[in-house]
Amino acid sequence: MTETAKPFLQVLSGQALDTPPVWLMRQAGRYLSEYREVRAKAENFVQFCLSPDLATEVTLQPIRRFGFDASILFADILLIPIALGRKVWFVTGEGPKLEPFDPLNFESLLEGRSTEVLGNVGETVRRVSASLPDHVTMIGFAGSPWTVATYMVEGGGSKDRFKTRVSAWEHPEAFDAFMDRIADATIDYLEMQYQAGAECLKLFDSWAEGLPRPLFERVIIRPTKRIVDGLRARGVDCPVIGFPRGASTLYPFYAEATGITGMALDTGVDPAWMRSQLPEGFPVQGHLDPSALRAGGTALDSEVRRLRAAWSGHPHIFNLGHGITPDVPVSHVEQLLHLIRDGDV
C-alpha cells in the first residue's frame, strides 16, 4: 500500500476526507487492562520506555483493539534530558522528577548522545513499523524544547513555570543557548526515529500557554523552526505536526512561522475562528475535550458531531485536545469510533 493510501497521511498532504482518520493522544495507556499487565513487568517508567519488547507491545495494543489510523511511539517527552546527561525519574502519584538545572550552566549538557543513549527507542520504532497494518501510519515524537526546559529548570511539573520564565527574561542569551542544546538533541532524536520507520513526527509543546508574544516567539517559535529546518536539512521529508497547547490567538502565528506541516489543537480553540485564520487547506488535528470522552453518552455524541461538522471540508485528523485519561471506559472509545466511522455528522 502506498503512502497516499493511508488516510492519516492523506490529510497531512492537504486532503479533506469524508471520514477523518482518528487516533488518540496517550492511546497506549492505563485505561487498557492489557497495558497495565505489561507495565507491571517494568522496573520503572524510564526502563519501560527504553525496553523495545515492552514499548513495542503497548504501542501496538490500541491498534489491535481499536484499529486506529495512526500508531504513536510509546515513549516520554523527558527522554531528551537523559540524553543530555540529566537524571530523570518518575514518582507514583506525583509524576516526573528531575534534578533542577540552571540554564546558565548549559555548556555542561552533553552533546551528540541522543541516538546513542536513546537507541532502543529507534529499535521500538523499527519493530512497530514492521508490525502495523498497511493503512496505519507510524508517528514518532519528542517534547518541544520549551516544555522540556521547564521540567529541567523546575525539577518537575509546575503550574506556571515561573522560575523558567524568569530565567528566560533575565538571561536571554544563555537561555536561548540552552534551548538550542535541547533543540539540537531533539533533531538527532527525531532523525533517528525517521530513519527507523516513522512516517510522521510530532512535537509536543505542552506548556505553551500563557506566554506573551515576545517570549512565545523566542521559546516556542524559534526552537521549533530550528528543529523543522534542521530535520529538512538532513533529508527528513515526512510531515511534522506541532502542538503548542494553550497557544490561543498565537496558534496561527505558530502555523505560519515554524514550517510545520500540520497543527494539533487544544480543547479551547474555536473551530470557526481557527478556520478563518489558517491558510486554506492547512491540516489540523484535534480537539475533543477528554472529559467529554470520559462522560460518554449524549455529551460525547454531541461534541463529536459538533467537531465533525465544524471541520467538514477541511483536512482534519480527529483526536483529543489532550491525552486520554486513565479512567475512560473502553466502551466510550468504541462509542467515539462508531460515531466517527459510522454515525451521521
pLDDT digits (tens, 9 = 90+) for 326-336: 999 999 999 99
Q: Is 26 a catalytic residue?
A: yes
Packing angle between helix 145-154 and helix 222-233, nearest 10 degrees? 120
Contact 243, 254 (CB under 8 A): no
- The pair phi, psi for residue 184, each rounded to 5°, is -65, -40
Spot the catalytic one: 31, 35, 151, 189.
151
Task: Report pTM.
Answer: 0.96
Q: Is 232 a catalytic residue?
A: no
Give the position of cell 451521521: 344
Q: Is 180 a catalytic residue?
A: no
Bridge partners of 306, per DSSP, are none
Burial class (CB in 10 A: 0-12, 13-18, 19+), 170: exposed
pLDDT by residue (tens digit) across 269-327?
Answer: 999 999 999 999 999 999 999 999 999 999 999 999 999 999 999 999 999 999 999 99
Domains of the chain: 3-341 (3.20.20.210)
Q: Does residue 26 register a pLDDT over 90?
A: yes
Residues, the chain, total?
A: 345
Is the sign of the CA dihedral 157, 162, 164, 165 positive or negative?
A: positive
Q: Is 39 a catalytic residue?
A: yes
316 closest CA partner among 6, 5, 19, 3: 19
Q: Does residue 172 register a pLDDT over 50?
A: yes
Q: Which helix (H) or strand (E) holds 120?
A: helix 119-131
Average pLDDT score over residue span 19-36:
98
Spot the catalytic one: 31, 35, 69, 76.
76
334 closest CA partner among 103, 55, 22: 22
Q: Is 76 a catalytic residue?
A: yes
Average pLDDT, the chain: 96
Contact 267, 235 (CB under 8 A): no
Query: Strand pairing of 137-143 and 70-72?
Result: parallel
Instruction: Specify the amino acid at residue 63.
Output: I
Q: Does residue 138 register a pLDDT over 60?
A: yes
pLDDT by residue (tens digit) across 204-222?
Answer: 999 999 999 999 999 999 9
